[in-house]
């Protein structure tokens, strides 16, 4: 009788544990999604604030993708490198390998973002410093400096307060150096070339007169070759670079209401190899 009575209880306990595990998993997934969303929203808001654009569109799922970029580039890669080196006993070897791996990865990322020469070195170097100081133990680092010995243990994972402070720094670095270089179809903020047809004649020609009817598409309506910066359900923002010789000195940003725009054509040519070609 005792064995029979224990069976239902054990099955019920298993069901309770399974439900608790699923609920805990769902809660953890929700927390992770919220964290990625907040990081992405902060990074994009910091970037568009330079154009005096308040990006408070909370419905943009692009923020989650941007949060993934921030976590992957700044936290995920260094954490993975330290995890792979966890069985190495030599502090010197761990430090050297850790720095070399991050140097190569950050330089490759800066190169992929179309940075060249000194700017690529500056972007990758600043990124390396942020990644290094996130995981290094400050107390041991200071002791190593005083004793002139390489004794720099890394902490994995770092404390919550330290992670929060560096997450803000990561978002700022990402918003200034990475986000503007990532194409729009990958969730980035690189302005997208578009052809804009306006309802009101000569509407944007006061600022973008050089781009008017370039190319000439329809003589009945005005068209402008512009760069799409940001859009909401009510407004569309366009940007134009202000050049002084070969140097960029600023931006010219114009906001148009969607009611004033007839249509927007995306100027993104794609080369396709036809099956009939040899």
* pLDDT reported for residue 43: 92
Domain end call among 186, 205, 221:
186
Q: How many domains does the chain have?
A: 2
Q: For residue 228, is it within any domain?
A: yes
Beta carbons of 36 and 132 less than 8 angstroms apart: no
Residues 88 and 149 in one domain: yes
pLDDT reported for residue 69: 95
Q: State whether 173 and 231 are in the same domain.
A: no
pLDDT tens-place values along the chain, 278 residues long: 444 444 455 666 666 666 676 667 777 788 888 889 999 999 999 998 888 887 666 667 788 899 999 999 999 999 999 999 888 888 888 888 999 999 999 999 999 998 988 899 999 999 999 999 999 887 777 777 777 676 677 888 888 899 999 999 999 999 999 999 998 888 898 988 888 888 766 565 555 666 666 666 666 677 788 889 988 888 889 887 666 666 666 677 888 888 888 888 887 656 666 665 54
Domain boundary residue, one of 186, 218, 244: 186
Q: In what order do the strands lie in the sheet with 223-231?
A: 247-257, 235-244, 223-231, 192-198, 261-266
Which one of 167, 186, 205 terminates a domain? 186
What does the pLDDT read at residue 60? 74
Burial class of residue 169 in the structure, from the number of CB atoms within 10 Å of its CB (0-12 exposed, 13-18 middle, 19+ buried) = middle
pLDDT of residue 112: 92
């Amino acid at each position: 009788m005792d064995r029979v009575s224990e069976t239902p209880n054990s099955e019920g306990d298993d069901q309770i544990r399974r439900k608790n595990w699923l609920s805990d998993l769902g809660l953890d997934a929700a927390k992770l999604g919220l964290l990625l969303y907040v990081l992405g929203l902060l990074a994009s808001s910091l970037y568009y604030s330079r154009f005096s654009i308040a990006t408070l569109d909370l419905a943009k799922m692009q923020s989650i993708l941007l949060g993934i970029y921030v976590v992957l580039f700044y936290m995920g890669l260094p954490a993975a490198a330290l995890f792979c080196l966890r069985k190495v006993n030599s502090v010197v070897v761990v430090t050297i390998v850790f720095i070399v791996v991050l140097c190569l990865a950050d330089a490759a990322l800066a190169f992929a973002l179309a940075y060249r020469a000194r700017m690529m070195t500056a972007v990758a170097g600043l990124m390396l410093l942020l990644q290094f100081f996130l995981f290094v133990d400050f107390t041991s680092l200071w002791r190593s400096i005083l004793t002139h010995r390489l004794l720099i243990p890394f902490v994995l994972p770092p404390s919550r307060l330290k992670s929060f402070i560096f997450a803000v720094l990561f978002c700022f670095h990402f918003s200034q150096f990475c986000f503007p270089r990532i194409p729009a179809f990958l969730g980035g903020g690189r302005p997208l070339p578009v052809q804009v047809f306006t309802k009101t004649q000569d509407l944007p020609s006061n600022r973008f007169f050089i781009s008017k009817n370039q190319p000439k598409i329809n003589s009945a309506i005005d068209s402008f070759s512009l760069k799409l910066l940001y859009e909401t359900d009510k407004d569309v923002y366009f940007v134009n670079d202000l050049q002084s010789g070969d140097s960029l000195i600023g931006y010219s940003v114009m906001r148009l209401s969607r009611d004033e725009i007839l249509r927007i054509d995306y100027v993104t040519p794609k080369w396709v190899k036809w099956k009939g070609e040899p």
